[in-house]
Amino acid sequence: MSAFSSKTATFASLPPPWPHDLMPVIREQLAKRAAKVVVLDDDPTGTQTVHDIPVLTEWSLERLKLALSENGPGFYILTNSRAFTTAEACRINREIGERLQTAAAATKSEFVCISRSDSTLRGHFPDEVTALSGETPLLLCPYFEAGGRYTIGDVHYVAEGDQLVPAGETPFAKDATFGFKASNLRDWVVEKSKGTITPDRIRSLSLDDIRQKGPEAIAEQLMLANGMVCIANAACQRDMEVVVLAQIMAESRGQRLMGRTAASYVATRMGLAPRPLLGGHDLARDVPGGGLIVVGSYVPKTTEQLQHLLDGSSIERVELNVQSLNESAAITQRVDALLSAGKDVVLYTSRQLVTGADADASLRFGQSVSATLVRMVSALKTSPRFFIAKGGITSSDLATRALGVKRALVRGQILPGIPVWQLGEESRFPGMNYVVFPGNVGGADALLHAYQKLTAS
């Protein structure tokens, strides 16, 4: 275990950020090219920095053609690939890539792709990115300020208070399916690729260059050969602006680049201005039933947030023991009765971590738990006044399989990094506010705070 760095001291030692606001230039360049930004998201939490952007949960050719033809800077496609095996994740990405090409040709549209994944480095890397984009050079950028994820000196950190904890020393690195050891992203790329991406094919954009030399110099560094990976260091939003503008400049000179990024990059690449957090008055829904919170994520941060919710509110609590899933029918009846009576309910899985013999077995067990939650929510007869889904896979499976969502609109964020979707007309509960609450985002009281916002009179 290394000694953790002070965030305050580390940031004070860095050169000052690039002095110019680059968002007006980014928007101008995006308007000239008019290429849609298409984000393939491996779970629904990647919408945590955008607003007024559609999310598709299925990718038929007709739906893609329509999405490419609509106004707006871009759209998300929810692949939920983090819930699947590597082989299935690759199949999904390959299929979407091929259909996008066909849809773009049919609509005479241009698009650029981003593979959005976890800011704590969990996911099918590099396999699904290669399936989507082949040997296209890759820009790796897991920076996500709302979640306290920073890349400095090629090392990726997770901020805990004023401590910068190397990502490889956090609980996220011990994930049963997507675990890793390296915190230095050069080493992480080699580790995750099992050595197929060798150190000589890895470059990085240093904070010194980003902050002191600016977009033009970074654009030159992004003129990369096929099969290369380039790490983007970033410790503030202005760093993102420099990198994004540099990428757009490089693309205008014929360079093809694929982004494997966290959510902060996406909003900048779409040219979106920040929007204030949604308040209780934005989220009110006049229906008689109680509100529902479903907690499937088992990471320590979620467990801490759940405990604060239970301690700080009078919400009705219902536990699903993951080792007794056959009791789910009776639990569903209880939840439905409480909702029908106008009571707010939190349904949560038992907190012990259960793993399988290997990564695939652990994934299969997680799928069985998620499938049980889907069956339970599908069986509810009462429309919840609001719905918070806690955890990436949980929120994706409930949206697509339990609520029948095909298309939703990201309204904005209820708290930093926590998006709210408005469900489409085809869903079981049209117009309902659906809070996609990542398992690894927010302080100890974030879940309680979100609940209080949703129940404010």
Residue 47 sits in a domain whose CATH number is 3.40.50.10840
Beta bridge partners of 160: 163
Domain housing 222: 5-269
Q: How confident is the model at residue 1 (pLDDT cuts 50, 70, 90)?
A: very low
The 10s digit of each residue's pLDDT in 363-400 is 777 788 889 999 999 999 999 999 999 988 889 899 99
Residue type, 219: A
Tally of structural domains, the chain: 2
> Is residue 407 within 8 Å of residue 56, measured between CB atoms?
yes
What is the average pLDDT across 151-161? 97
The 10s digit of each residue's pLDDT in 90-147 is 999 999 999 999 999 999 999 999 999 999 999 999 999 999 999 999 999 999 998 8
For the ranges 83-87, 260-264, 279-283, which has the lowest average pLDDT?
279-283
Distance CA 55, CA 409 (A): 6
> Is residue 165 within 8 Å of residue 150, measured between CB atoms?
no
Output the domain CATH number for residue 431.
Answer: 3.40.980.20
Pair (304, 257) in one structural domain: no
Whether the pLDDT of residue 355 is over 70: the answer is: no
The 10s digit of each residue's pLDDT in 3-30 is 689 999 999 999 999 999 999 999 999 9
Beta strands in 207-267 (DSSP E): 229-232, 258-261
Distance CA 192, CA 236 (A): 26
Q: Is residue 425 helix, strand or coil?
A: coil
Between the two ends of the chain, the Cα-to-Cα distance in Å is 47
What is the average pLDDT across 176-181? 93
Q: Which helix (H) or strand (E) holds 348?
A: strand 345-349
In the chain, the percentage of residues whose pLDDT exceeds 70 is 98
Q: Cβ of 195: how many Cβ atoms within 10 Å?
A: 9
Pair (307, 230) in one structural domain: no
The 10s digit of each residue's pLDDT in 325-349 is 888 899 999 999 999 999 999 999 9
Distance CA 104, CA 98 (A): 10
Task: Give pTM, 2 decimals.
Answer: 0.88
Residue 200: C-alpha distances to residues 162, 214, 228, 261 (Å): 34, 25, 9, 21
> Is residue 384 within 8 Å of residue 291, measured between CB atoms?
yes
Distance CA 187, CA 414 (A): 36
- Domain boundary among the residues 250, 269, 288 is at 269
Q: How confident is the model at residue 60 (pLDDT cuts 50, 70, 90)?
A: very high
Residue-averaged pLDDT of the chain? 93
What is the average pLDDT across 214-224? 98
**Residue 274 falls within a domain, yes or no?**
no
Q: Cβ of 65: how many Cβ atoms within 10 Å?
A: 18
